[in-house]
Amino acid sequence: MISTASDMAAWLIAQNSGGRGPGGARIASPQTIALMHTPSPNSGSYALGWSTGETPRARPSSSTAGTCSPPRPTRRCCPPPATVSR
């Protein structure tokens, strides 16, 4: 995938605002965002680019580090969007 810093910033804003981009426009539904943060039964804590878990104070969290070389800082979102029950 090829993207710009601006595109990635808009994507992270949408991840933290229920699918709304920087200007408030919907770029994904809240359900889609929730599904992106919901691990599959076979993956443990991995959910479409996001690792799910808890903070040291037992608050839910999601984080992503990507696969860049050299490694880049992790982007952490606390708490993650609500998971969608199936």
Tens-digit pLDDT string for the chain (86 aa): 788 888 888 888 998 899 999 999 998 999 998 888 888 888 878 887 778 788 888 887 777 765 554 545 555 555 555 554 44
Alpha carbons 73 and 82: distance in angstroms, whole number: 24
- Smallest CA-to-CA distance from 83 within 50, 45, 35 is with 35
pTM: 0.57
Residue 46's pLDDT is what?
80
3-state secondary structure of 16: helix
- Smallest CA-to-CA distance from 36 within 3, 86, 84, 68 is with 84
Residue 54's pLDDT is what?
80
Residue 65's pLDDT is what?
62
